Amino acid sequence: MGACRLMIQSVGSATPAISLALAHALPFSREHLARCVYQAPAVLLDGIERKEADTLCEILARSGLEVSVDDIESPFTVGGPEYEVAIHVEDNAGFRDIAAELARFIGSTPARAVELLCASPAIVLGQVSWSTVQALRARMEKLGALLDVSKVAEAHYDVFIDAQQEPLRHRLQRELSKRGVDCIKEGPLLASGINREVANALWQRSGSQKGWCLLDQAFQRFDIWLEEPAQSERAIAAIINCTGMPAELIPRINAALPFLLLESVASTEASAILASLNESGVRAVAQLITLVKWDLNVQSVQDPRAAIQIIHRIAGKDDATLLHSLSRPPAKISVGFTLARARWLVAELAAVGCRTELVSR
């Protein structure tokens, strides 16, 4: 029969609990087995008999893992800790289902999954292989969530700094200049497109200092705004092509500038859309929203007490003035949320008859 190799090809539909189950049955630590599962393809067992390999393969396949039995001499390519993954929730009505599915995938509590999803960017996995990225994508897309993926070795970062942090700005400028990076003299963006090596060096020296951040370009999302009226046929056609809106809406859009054409667009897609619009004579800009905080304007309320319960659960606000405000809208609710948590709050309030809008700080 000869010796064989038992390979884990992908996490597939399995849950993290499989690592614990395997640790009870095989002479490996749970940490090692977790790496095999989430950095697949990986060799689980090498040099075992075909009959034993086939039996184990059948058992593991029942758990949802994608596995194979290969000849010992067969060439293979292993995965590795190459990728980081963030989740962007498109359909906020399904936020809780997305959080529950993420919790199953990473082996956390639903509450922990909610906190990950509400971060900005919402990085949920690191040091995983492409097969794991694909397995998570298959689960998330059917629930209304998209993946932003960064290949860590090739990642590029932007450096942002608070306006009040002038001494820190000068120090970071010196560090970046030593490494041949051009810095921007004014505004929140200090440097753009630095590589992983420079980003690591900067973080090691100043990571504990508050008032600045490194943001992977792969995890950035943008709103695209129309700034000037679209008049030519070419410009109108470009807007229709990138947004899918009917031509009849163009006069209304031109009369309501600036107008939000597209929201929460991924970085690479935003660059392509903006280039296409500008080439067609459309005056549009992309606004980074990943680091923006949001408050809520409540325009109408059907059930103030139901709204209070939702705001308390998601925003942690529970005071008498809130009930008074919601009883007599319009009202502003200051929450300072990331976009993901703010849009989740809007969706939950809409389900109980509240009409709201987000306002950036």
How far is residue 268's CA from residue 144's CA, in Å, rounded to a whole number? 20
Look at residue 176 in the predicted model and tell me its pLDDT. Answer: 96
Domain that holds residue 49: 3-71
Q: What is the CATH number of the domain that holds 349?
A: 3.30.1390.10
Phi, psi (degrees; rounded to nearest 5) at 287: -110, 120
Name 87's bridge partners: 147
Within a domain: 76: no
Q: Which residues contact 254 (CB under 8 A, 6 or more apart)?
A: 229, 230, 231
Average pLDDT over residues 46-59: 92
Look at residue 30 in the predicted model and tell me its pLDDT. Answer: 87
pLDDT tens for 302-350 read 998 899 899 888 988 776 667 777 888 898 888 899 999 999 999 999 9
Look at residue 194 in the predicted model and tell me its pLDDT. Answer: 98
- Which residue among 39, 71, 103 closes a domain? 71
The helix-helix angle for 130-141 and 95-106 (nearest 10°) equals: 150
Name 215's bridge partners: 158
* Residue found under tokens 């939950």: 348
pLDDT-derived band of residue 1, with 50, 70 and 90 as boundaries? low
Within a domain: 19: yes
Given a contact cutoff of 8 angstroms between Cβ atoms, the answer to whether 270 and 304 are in contact is: no
For residues 59 and 109, membership in a common domain is answered with no
Quick one: the chain helix, strand, coil %, rounded to 5?
Answer: 45, 25, 30
Look at residue 319 in the predicted model and tell me its pLDDT. Answer: 66
Q: Which of 18-22, 46-50, 188-192, 243-247 has the lowest mean pLDDT?
A: 18-22
pLDDT tens for 284-296 read 999 999 999 999 9
Higher pLDDT, 26 or 219: 219
Q: What is the CATH number of the domain that holds 191?
A: 3.30.70
Within a domain: 96: yes
Number of domains in the chain: 5
- Which residue among 264, 288, 312 closes a domain? 288
Asked whether the predicted pLDDT for residue 2 surpasses 80, the reply is no
Phi, psi (degrees; rounded to nearest 5) at 338: -65, 165
DSSP for residue 156: E
Task: Tell me the pTM.
Answer: 0.90
Given a contact cutoff of 8 angstroms between Cβ atoms, the answer to whether 81 and 150 are in contact is: no
pLDDT tens for 86-122 read 999 998 999 999 999 999 999 899 999 999 999 999 9
DSSP string, 58-117: HHHHHTT-EEEEEETT-------S-EEEEEEES-GGGHHHHHHHHHHHHT--HHHHHHHH
Average pLDDT over residues 253-261: 96
Arithmetic mean of pLDDT over the chain: 93
* Residue found under tokens 């980081």: 84
pLDDT-derived band of residue 262, with 50, 70 and 90 as boundaries? very high
Within a domain: 77: no
CA triple 17-22-25, angle to 5 deg: 140
